[in-house]
Amino acid sequence: MSLSTLGLCPEILKALKERGYALATPIQKALIPAILQGYDIIAGAQTGTGKTAGFTLPILQELSKDVEESRENIKAIILVPTRELARQVHQNIESYGAYLSLNSMVLYGGSNMSAQAKRLKSGVDIVVATPGRLLEHIGKKNISLDSVKYLVLDEADTILDMGFVNEVMQIVQRLPKKRQTILVSATLLGSVKSLAQKILHKPKLIEIDSMGTSAKNVELVVLPVVKEKKMELLSYLIGWRNYQQVLVFVRKKQEADEVADELNLSGLKTLVIHGDKSSARRARALEAFKEGRVRVLVATDIMARGLDIPSLDVVINFDIPHVTSDFLHRIGRTGRAGKRGLAITLVSPKEEIALKEVERLMGKAIKREEIEGYRPKVENTQRGARKVANQKRKVAGAFGRKKKSYNKKKRKTTKRDRWH
């Protein structure tokens, strides 16, 4: 279906055409008409499916009709979990609204508060913000939410996972009751549905991509490897297969630094981004990676939500994430906009149980490949299994002996015992 058939104004269509967008994705086909019709919405949509355009285009369309209204108060709030995603969404808004007379800005921590307040005072229609920084501006009375018509929660599951539920509810309490609320999430788990019940009014449910189909453009591969050789295998893979642009995900910030250091020592130019890096350093690292000035970018899971890297071919999971659903965010960095991608996961024997959880989430088994010299030895794995089984038998035997001894100790002496 063409985007031109969804009721969007000529100015928006012109901006989309200049950026090579002509056909609507499934989530856009569902979201755009529903938002234009005024529904509150809860939408399940995986990353890389075009959901940002799905909710921003109709909001831009509707706000452009009231451009003559005063800009002293905000008309649309889009809440996101991370700085990177905030910047990405704001860039998209500016791009799609290039020919509209609408003003927008982005708010997140780590940037100058006074400069943001000054920009707000000059008049803004749309604000993209992280919950904490928006609340700071509300507390300082730099911003009024009295005229907000649209509230969007993007990556709602991540917002909740990061513990922002109280901040979200404080923001919601300051909004007009008469508004349109759109909640978009990669997963529609219990916590997301519970939040939706509190802040949405008779919402329309839109669920496009299930967990299993979200990776239809991504080839998933598992490489079994002993833990001690993971770093060696990672370096070998990138060099042997001559990957020119690789995004590597790890669980912990310290480990991200260590992996980046090792890759640099191997001659692979690498930068790292995680929560301990300043916003400016993260932005510079991402820009260098996009421009091809570094070959590898190492990131933690919290960074997975806001990384939009055009034509990224390869993602490598150095480990399996603590939160199983983060696996979807990781692999969603490749195979975007209909293009093919590859996601490789390095799995040690101790991560097999976590891998099963991922496969259950995906709804399918992931293809395994083995590289000689790195795969765990089967006999070692079997020996480990036997060791666990023997330990269990020993514990059971000890308990049995204790029970027998206890019974013997408590046995009463009878007359027959005394005579014999």
* Residues 205-219: tens digit of each pLDDT: 998 754 444 467 889
Q: Which pLDDT score is estimated for 304?
A: 72
* pLDDT value, residue 117: 94
Residues 86 and 80 sit within 8 Å (Cβ to Cβ): yes
Contacts of 93 (CB under 8 A, 6+ apart): 56, 60, 104, 126, 128
CA distances from 160 to 17, 156, 166, 198, 387 (A): 36, 6, 9, 14, 40
Mean pLDDT computed over every residue of the chain: 86
Task: Quote the percentage of the chain above a pLDDT of 70.
Answer: 85
Q: Candidates 3.40.50.300, 3.30.9.90, 3.40.630.30, 3.20.20.80; correct CATH number of 218-368?
A: 3.40.50.300
Residue-level pLDDT at 75? 95
The segment(s) of the chain belonging to CATH 3.40.50.300 are 3-207, 218-368
CA dist., res. 338 & res. 50, Å (int): 10
| pLDDT class of 318 with cuts at 50, 70, 90 | very high
Q: Taking residues 324-340, report their average pLDDT.
A: 82
CATH number (3.40.50.970, 3.40.50.300, 3.30.1010.10, 1.20.1290.10) of 3-207 reads 3.40.50.300
Q: Is the pLDDT of residue 415 over 90?
A: no
**Most confident among 14-28, 109-123, 127-141 (mean pLDDT):** 127-141
Res 100 pLDDT > 90 = yes
